């Protein structure tokens, strides 16, 4: 997926884009020069709205345009939220519309035009345009290739162009002019969701999909040339009075391409606060214009704050920013899942999960699919939120350890096949039927028990057959081909898959490689025997995470991706090998409950295992081994991050709390966030680090994270 640091600068430019929109509506240079103001507001500032469209396209539409496996619910939710925001904004501006008499004597057709195309207030056209443009692209992408969709978007833009800046070129052609007159009876401008939005949404999606990154100097040169061309184009059109409106230029397309890449050349961390502030600045600035003018009139400052266009622009921009910040701060932390209300929690990075899925798919054959391993609560990450996100990404096959884990996924609406990798006791077979689960056949005797259950319920039981090729855990031994064929003879089993588990695939060292290839050979020999007996060979899968990454030649219909989905490998020794491919999904964080002094010679914690060698400051964190923090990190073995600095664990880790030394860390206060696993400032503690310090593997560290830790997708 996309490198968040590469595109974090978009959040900063949002503020500039919001100010450019304000400039369009306040004409900041009109007091000094009409020509200069036109260059600013009628040409340069026209990059603002396409920029917003491109951001949406980048982060919403790549899966629809390129993978053809996106989740429809994600689009429905986005459009629903956009229209809800549109509805709220419409209600907020009702008093202004009534005061200005904008809605007087409006018929049904006029109301439709306002709601669907023009916007219920002059700046609100963007919201229905966004919903319309996204809907159109999603519809087209289901029928056409990306290049065709882009061609349609470009064609629509060109059609819109002649209803906007190039209108003067066609108004003297009666046939074409009549067509546009008919169009203008439905909407006032071609600057809308049908003609204007699609091409920029598509451009953003393409940049997001390709993760395009050029050198800053080259991009800056392209931006300078294209922006100069757009200013020249705009001035010529303005001079010859060809413009009906001034939103659409031919040069705007290359200008937006280079501008977007130029912004992306600055590697900054995402800033959700600026993102929300810019949105509110856009929504509320017309109301602030009214407030500024009203206040100027009341305090007899009209000559200063209104008649001086530049001061008017600055007053509106600053006022909009201040009110937007107040709104964002007011509603910050009010959400049910917001981490500011938790004692300790897990944050899941949605973009990193998507990135890992995308990278792992590259190791699959063309017809292969990922089978997501979400057992043990998705290795501690949270099986339900992770599986929902994977469903959105088009993952339709999951595997769990038990029937109860599978049932939990179904209760939360997870779609697709859910394979139980382990043994299910016959008393729980009812769960297989009720929640449409697929059971692993662990040997021929178990197959007969499942077959009997299928006969009793009058329905075939969906199963995958496990073959033991060397792990010697579950599965019928590979040399017992007759017994394996007996499983195929069970008439009440619906055999959907057959698989084995590679027990030594974590490296490609000669000894490991020999054993792994021997396992593969034994498995494929079983498949040949099955075919010789006249049985249809079902879907096959050999690879788990290590097999997928190290032995792509042993591919099948599925690959059971486990720890790699979450950006890790089991062994800390492999961290450097895959660090540029896999990105950690999980961070663990906790609150500082108390900060206190500990004087020289005083002891702290159970057993008084820590004794202060000097006057110290300590912090009590709201996390302990009851949350899955390994007790082996006690007494200085482990550490946490506070304010970008490392704070060692002191004394024994308790069930619910942990003590850390913060003597060298300034400004630590109760309520601050401590990072247990994850990044703070320029420092990072990974699950690999915790595994190394506690003498185990990342799988164990992550899988033991407690159920009382709230999982939050960010």
**Three-state SS annotation for 301-346:** CHHHHCCCHHHHHHHHHHHHHHHHHHHHHHHCCCCCCCHHHCCEEE
State yes or no: is 577 an active-site residue: no
Torsion angle defined by CA atoms of residues 265, 268, 272 and 273, in that order, rounded to the nearest 10 degrees: -110
**Residue that the structure tokens 């779609």 belong to:** 415
CA distance 324 to 195: 30
Identify the burial level of 486 via C-beta atoms within 10 angstroms of its C-beta, where 0-12 means exposed, 13-18 middle and 19 or more buried. middle
Identify the burial level of 14 via C-beta atoms within 10 angstroms of its C-beta, where 0-12 means exposed, 13-18 middle and 19 or more buried. buried
Identify the burial level of 370 via C-beta atoms within 10 angstroms of its C-beta, where 0-12 means exposed, 13-18 middle and 19 or more buried. buried
Beta bridge partner(s), residue 372 = 398, 561
Identify the burial level of 141 via C-beta atoms within 10 angstroms of its C-beta, where 0-12 means exposed, 13-18 middle and 19 or more buried. buried
Find the angle CA(141)-CA(142)-CA(146) to the nearest 5 degrees: 30
Within 10 angstroms of residue 139's Cβ, the number of other Cβ atoms is 12
Smallest CA-to-CA distance from 195 within 251, 101, 295, 125 is with 125
Task: Tally the C-alpha atoms within 13 A of residue 301's C-alpha that lie toward its C-beta.
Answer: 14
Within 10 angstroms of residue 557's Cβ, the number of other Cβ atoms is 18
CA distance 372 to 559: 8
**Residue that the structure tokens 């009997």 belong to:** 452
Within 10 angstroms of residue 88's Cβ, the number of other Cβ atoms is 12
Q: Which of 375, 388, 466, 589 is catalytic?
A: 375
Q: Which segments of 205-292 are extended strands (E)?
A: none
Within 10 angstroms of residue 204's Cβ, the number of other Cβ atoms is 26
Length of the chain in terms of residues written: 714
Smallest CA-to-CA distance from 10 within 265, 230, 217, 251 is with 265
State yes or no: is 379 an active-site residue: no
CA distance 580 to 587: 18
**Residue that the structure tokens 């769960």 belong to:** 431
CA distance 299 to 287: 18
Within 10 angstroms of residue 76's Cβ, the number of other Cβ atoms is 12
CA distance 349 to 167: 47
Give the DSSP H/E element, type plus range, for residue 677: strand 673-680
CA distance 436 to 713: 27
Q: Which of 106, 433, 531, 606 is catalytic?
A: 606
Smallest CA-to-CA distance from 14 within 216, 193, 262, 276 is with 276
CA distance 215 to 202: 22
Task: Answer whether 452's CB lies under 8 Å from 476's CB.
Answer: no
- Measure Cα distances from 226 to 197, 200, 255, 466 in Å: 20, 16, 5, 61
Report the catalytic residues. Answer: 375, 606
């Amino acid at each position: 997926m996309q490198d968040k640091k590469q595109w974090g600068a978009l959040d900063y430019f949002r503020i500039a884009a919001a100010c450019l929109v304000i400039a369009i509506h306040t004409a900041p240079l009109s007091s000094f020069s009409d020509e200069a103001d036109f260059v600013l507001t009628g040409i340069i500032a026209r990059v603002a709205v396409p920029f917003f469209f491109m951001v949406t396209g980048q982060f919403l539409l790549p899966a629809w345009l390129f993978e053809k496996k996106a989740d429809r619910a994600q689009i429905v939710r986005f459009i629903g939220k956009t229209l809800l925001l549109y509805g709220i904004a419409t209600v907020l501006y009702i008093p202004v519309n009534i005061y200005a008499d904008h809605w007087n004597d409006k018929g049904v057709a006029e109301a439709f035009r306002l709601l669907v195309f023009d916007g219920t207030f002059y700046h609100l056209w963007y919201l229905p345009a966004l919903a319309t443009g996204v809907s159109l692209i999603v519809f087209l992408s289901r029928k056409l290739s990306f290049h065709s969709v882009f061609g349609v978007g470009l064609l629509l833009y060109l059609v819109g162009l002649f209803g906007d800046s190039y209108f003067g070129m066609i108004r003297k052609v009666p046939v074409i002019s009549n067509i546009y007159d008919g169009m203008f009876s439905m909407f006032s401008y071609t600057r809308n969701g049908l003609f204007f939005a699609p091409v920029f949404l598509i451009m953003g999606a393409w940049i997001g999909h390709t993760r395009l990154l050029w050198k800053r100097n080259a991009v800056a040169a392209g931006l300078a040339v294209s922006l100069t061309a757009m200013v020249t184009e705009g001035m010529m059109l303005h001079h010859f009075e060809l413009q009906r409106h001034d939103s659409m230029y031919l040069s705007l397309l290359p200008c937006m391409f280079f501008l977007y890449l130029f912004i992306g050349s600055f590697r900054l961390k995402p800033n959700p606060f600026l993102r929300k502030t810019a949105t509110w600045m856009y929504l509320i600035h017309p109301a602030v214009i009214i407030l500024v003018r009203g206040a100027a009139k009341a305090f007899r400052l009209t000559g200063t704050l209104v008649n001086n266009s530049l001061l008017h622009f600055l007053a509106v921009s600053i006022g909009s920013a201040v009110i937007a910040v107040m709104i964002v701060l007011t509603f910050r932390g009010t959400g049910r899942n917001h981490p500011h209300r938790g004692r300790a929690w897990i944050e899941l990075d949605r973009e990193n999960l998507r990135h890992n899925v995308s990278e792992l798919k590259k190791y699959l054959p063309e017809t292969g699919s990922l089978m997501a391993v979400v057992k043990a609560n998705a290795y501690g990450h949270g099986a339900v939120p992770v599986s929902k996100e994977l469903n959105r990404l088009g993952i339709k096959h999951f595997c769990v350890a038990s029937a109860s884990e599978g049932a939990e996924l179904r209760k939360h609406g997870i779609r697709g096949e859910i394979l139980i990798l382990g043994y299910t006791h016959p008393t729980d077979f009812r769960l297989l039927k009720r929640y449409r689960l697929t059971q692993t056949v662990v040997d021929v005797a178990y197959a007969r028990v499942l077959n009997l259950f299928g006969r009793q319920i009058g329905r075939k039981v969906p199963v995958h057959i496990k073959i033991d090729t060397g792990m010697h855990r579950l599965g019928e031994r590979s040399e017992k081909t007759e017994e394996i064929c007996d499983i195929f003879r069970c008439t009440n089993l619906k055999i959907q898959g057959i698989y084995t588990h590679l027990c030594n695939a974590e490296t490609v060292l000669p000894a490991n490689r020999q054993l792994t290839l021997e396992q593969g050979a034994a498995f494929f020999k079983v498949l040949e025997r099955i075919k010789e007996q006249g049985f249809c060979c079902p879907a096959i899968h050999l690879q788990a995470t290590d097999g997928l990454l190290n032995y792509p030649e042993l591919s099948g219909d599925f690959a059971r991706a486990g720890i790699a989905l979450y950006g890790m490998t089991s062994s800390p020794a492999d961290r450097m090998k895959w660090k540029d491919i896999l990105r950690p999904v999980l961070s663990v964080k906790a609150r500082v409950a108390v900060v206190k002094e500990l004087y020289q010679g005083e002891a702290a914690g159970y057993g008084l295992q820590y004794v202060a060698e000097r006057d110290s400051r300590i912090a009590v964190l709201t996390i302990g081994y009851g949350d899955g923090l390994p007790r082996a990190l006690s007494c200085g073995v482990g550490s946490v991050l506070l304010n970008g600095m490392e704070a060692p664990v002191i004394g024994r880790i308790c069930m619910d709390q942990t003590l850390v030394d913060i003597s060298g860390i300034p400004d630590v206060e109760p309520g601050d966030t401590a990072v247990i696993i994850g990044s703070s400032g320029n420092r990072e503690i990974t699950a690999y680090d915790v595994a190394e310090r506690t003498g185990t593997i990342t799988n164990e560290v992550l899988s033991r994270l407690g159920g009382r830790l709230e999982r939050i997708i960010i």
